[in-house]
Chain A
């Protein structure tokens, strides 16, 4: 989700004809000073980080003159705010504000349509407006085919108490925000907060937020968000290759490559709750066969990596194809960290055959590989682990052990505890699997 920094969003707003304060970006205190000299008015200095609540965190400061601007910029640059290091500040003219408003356009997931938001209060997060002034906030869903009409914006502005004399101008700004920003740039969300009415009667976008849909970036090649310039080598590589790669902790010890976000996120939960450090998870797609080696090489560049977990329960992807791809990649790369391969689901039988054969090879090569699959009993090869009910958890347990961590379950307190349900699941499996016509389940039954 390329979340644009304020100054990047403002450049787009300006290009599209929305009024923004006079200002420029500075990377050093000296630069900030010269911008203030050029503006020739008191200034506001704002840290450029990809999140809201900057004001409350102390990241927005006012200055009366160029010297003070320099001093303030010096205080802010290089500091950490809300987990982000500040390497740029936006220096702008300080507005003489009479009143602040809020306008925004969001994707309404529940209504499956865009929604406009407008309030006669501004300058605080929209959640806070909702709580403190519910009667002063309106949300209107927009039919995506008709799009926002200016009368809808006017009616909404009137409803929330925008002063009559500026209703027309506020609603035309909202109209432009919808058409020229939200629709034109495939925004997932955009807002002006606050939209300031100045003492001399101008309406100016004092802040600008814009987040563009990742999946629509192919339509906006002219935009290279700052956030993307900060990607590390792995993230850049993944982006180039089109992998779904989420780096959670560059110093983490476990890389998890799974075939689906649901499995990846569940593993993240179990590893985190056990006190492990998951470096990343990666969601492999259908193209994984030819890319397994490349993906493996990529995660092996994580500096503190101690184990790699391929955890695959295939539907759209195919377990046999993934098993083959991973095995070939391991032979090519000969990784020094141990690897657990769990491959179940579509193509499972083929995957098990491949793993039985290949895991012997790995042993000879001196690469540590252990493996499992849903119908594996653990006796197929010396390196196999039991599947069945345990097929999700045992691989997690093993990779944590490789990191020197004893696996324990430690779910948050607000989740219910029902250890008896797990026991029942196991009892049922012991009872039902021997009855099944498929021989692989009869075999597994002896170990459940």
Chain B
């Protein structure tokens, strides 16, 4: 099946990748899986390890050198520890690369603010931190996604704070025949490069996406700002939302750095705002296909017969 459209940003057929931290255990393993999936990776960077190769990909000492040798690079995927993430991110943003995926969990908030502020100044789209990635099946996977949960090219856009329960929801959408256009895990940190409102607007512009599924959590007000966009008519495509941690005790940080009820941020407030704006809220993740079907969106029959792409590398 010919893929006519792809999301305007991130994980498209035009995505050409440099992997930061490619010589690390995780970086090397994920590079192999991404390559097998079909992601176009042309370079890797690890300071001090320039000249090596990882799975046939040349390694450079700096982003500057990688970009000089491969000027076509437009996306950086970062497997770098949290404490080094600010420096690594600045290096990418200053290089002229326009898309940056930050995987690390545990980056200090104020470091992330600096990364996001610099990215905004330079017109760079950041996804993350604290994410496992972005995937547009079957053409491009960035990061460390559960590839087998995604079939496509599909019609449903998935935006999520989490992997785990989201892989399950995406898998049902894929097996049901609707397929996923792009799944973007925006991450569980309080300061996100791309948050729900910006992500919804990206999908709104993507001709392939017919509806969006939002998986959100307690803390902050990103889901409520997303509801405002829907209410104002800036997001016209249907939105289905599942918001977890509805029994969370206030004041307790629950795993994700951003998942805490303080000065608002309850599931109830988010659910009510989304419903008022006209979004569909599901109570359990397994209700997802019933909700999609009710929207009147037709599944894609070919997707039921074509195999789901997945790298065979498990260790």
Contact = CB atoms under 8 A, between A and B. Distances in A.
A314 B116 CA distance: 28
Contacts of A312: 164
A405 B175 CA distance: 33
B16 interface: no
A389 to B, nearest CB: 5
Contact of B289 (A315, A412, A421): A421
Given A216-B109, A244-B255, A246-B252, A273 B164 contact: no
Contact of A246 (B26, B144, B167, B254): B254
Mostly, the A contact residues are mixed
Contact of A320 (B107, B164, B188, B314): B314
Contacts of A392: 165, 168, 285-286
A346 B148 contact: yes
A263 B165 contact: yes
A136 to B, nearest CB: 18
A272 interface: yes
B259 interface: yes
A73 to B, nearest CB: 26
A418 B255 contact: no
Nearest to A125: B263
A263 B132 CA distance: 14
A258 interface: yes
Contacts of B145: 315
A262 B258 contact: no
B50 interface: no
Contact of B113 (A144, A214, A316, A432): A144
A215 B107 CA distance: 6
A346 B149 CA distance: 9
Given A110-B222, A423-B290, A435-B305, A313 B164 contact: yes
Interface stretch (B38-46, B52-60, B62-70, B268-276): B268-276
Contact of B271 (A113, A216, A391, A414): A414
Contact of A188 (B109, B161, B217, B252): B109
Contacts, number: 259
B121 to A, nearest CB: 8
B149 to A, nearest CB: 7
Contacts of B205: none
Nearest to B183: A315
Contacts of B122: none
Interface in B265-293: 268, 271-272, 275, 281-291, 293
A366 interface: no
B314 A349 contact: yes
B230 to A, nearest CB: 16
A176 B41 CA distance: 47
Given A214-B257, A318-B315, A345-B148, A437 B307 contact: yes
Q: Which of A244, A259, A272 has the most CB of B within 10 A?
A: A244
Q: Which of A112, A183, A420 has the most CB of B within 10 A?
A: A112
Contacts of B118: 145
Interface residues of B, number: 93
B26 A318 contact: no
A425 B286 CA distance: 7
Nearest to B216: A262
Given A143-B117, A186-B110, A215-B82, A433 B162 contact: no
Given A213-B108, A246-B255, A418-B287, A441 B175 contact: yes
A288 to B, nearest CB: 13
Contacts of B117: 112-113, 143-145
A29 interface: no
Contacts of B244: 262, 265-266, 269
Nearest to B220: A109
Q: Which of A145, A213, A435 has the most CB of B within 10 A?
A: A213
Contacts of A437: 305-307
A391 B82 CA distance: 33
A264 B255 contact: yes
Nearest to B281: A416
A262 B161 contact: yes
Interface in A395-426: 409, 411-412, 414-418, 420-425
Interface in B222-258: 222, 225, 244-249, 251-258
A441 B299 CA distance: 18
Interface string A276-315: 0000010101100000000000000000000000001111
Contacts of B149: 315, 345
A264 B315 contact: no
B96 interface: no
B162 A260 contact: yes
Contact of A259 (B164, B259, B284): B164
B290 to A, nearest CB: 3
Contacts of B314: 318, 320, 346-347, 349-350
B199 interface: no
A269 B256 CA distance: 16
B164 A261 contact: yes
Given A215-B106, A421-B289, A416 B275 contact: yes
A428 B293 contact: yes
A262 B285 CA distance: 11
B39 to A, nearest CB: 15
A321 interface: yes
B147 A261 contact: no
| List of 3 A-B pairs having minimum Cβ-Cβ separation, nearest first | A421-B290, A262-B162, A260-B164
9 contacts: A107-B191, A109-B258, A112-B195, A215-B82, A269-B246, A313-B167, A315-B133, A316-B144, A345-B148
Given A265-B248, A286-B26, A433-B175, 16 more contacts: A107-B190, A114-B113, A145-B117, A216-B109, A262-B163, A265-B217, A266-B245, A347-B315, A374-B171, A412-B246, A416-B283, A418-B291, A424-B294, A425-B286, A436-B175, A437-B305
